[in-house]
Amino acid sequence: MAVGLQCHADMAINGGDIFHHDRPSRTSVVRCMEAMRKYVFGPRPVRVNIVSDQSKDFAGPTCFDRANFADPNLSVQLPVFAVTGNHDPAVRDHADSLPISALDVLQTAGLLNLYGRQRVNDRVVVRPVLLRKGRVQLALYGMANMRDQRLAGLVRKGRVLFAKPPAGSGHWYSVLVVH
């Protein structure tokens, strides 16, 4: 992320597995948060805007359903967008709790924007986060970790669908991040 700031990057994208273990130690989570705080927060203005529905883009088990740089309580200079990897699964602390991952903790702290969550039933709809910088438009698609057999079966059956940006909204560059 230091290089991203030095190069004046508009954002960073993580394809999953921020942690090596599926239940990282509290020490690992704190060290990760310390490192991210150093680069994510700061005075440099963010030069991209989100034009899609953030409540759908970032919906999850927490109440933070918008990008961290859209939060007036935070001073974000380098937005990080991340999808969940196989080492980042949501787990329950006890039977009646919501499944929460270490990435949910990072999102709640305002350190990253977790997107690309999939509700796997009989089909998957991959919705893009729509970003705009000046006249450049980016459709950032993400697919969180899914078992290979499950994903392959859905693809074979034509049950993986990609939502498109609104018709008539101009040219969009598309990026797909898959773990």
pLDDT of residue 59: 84
Q: Is the pLDDT of residue 51 over 90?
A: yes
Residue 13 has pLDDT above 70, yes or no: yes
∠ CA 177-113-57, nearest 5°, is 75
Whether 179 is a known active-site residue: answer: no
Which pLDDT score, from 0 to 100, does residue 94 have? 57
Give the residue extent of every domain in the chain.
2-178
pLDDT of residue 170: 94
Residue 22 has a pLDDT of 78
Single-letter code of the amino acid located at 114: L
Lowest mean pLDDT among 84-93, 114-123, 126-135: 84-93
Query: Tens digit of pLDDT for each residue in 95-114?
Result: 665 667 888 889 999 999 99
68 has a pLDDT exceeding 80: yes
Reported confidence tier of residue 123, pLDDT bands at 50, 70, 90 = confident
Per-residue pLDDT averaged across 114-138, rounded? Answer: 90
Q: Give the SS3 label for residue 31.
A: helix
User: Residue 160: which of 118, 119, 123, 115 has the closest Cα?
Assistant: 123
Please say whether the beta carbons of 58 and 67 come within 8 A: yes
CATH superfamily of 2-178: Metallo-dependent phosphatases (3.60.21.10)
Catalytic site residue from 8, 87, 94, 179:
87
Query: For the chain, what percent of residues have pLDDT higher than 70?
Result: 93
Determine the length of the chain. Answer: 179
Q: Specify the residue for token string 């109440």.
A: 63
Rounded Cα distance between 170 and 166, Å, is 9
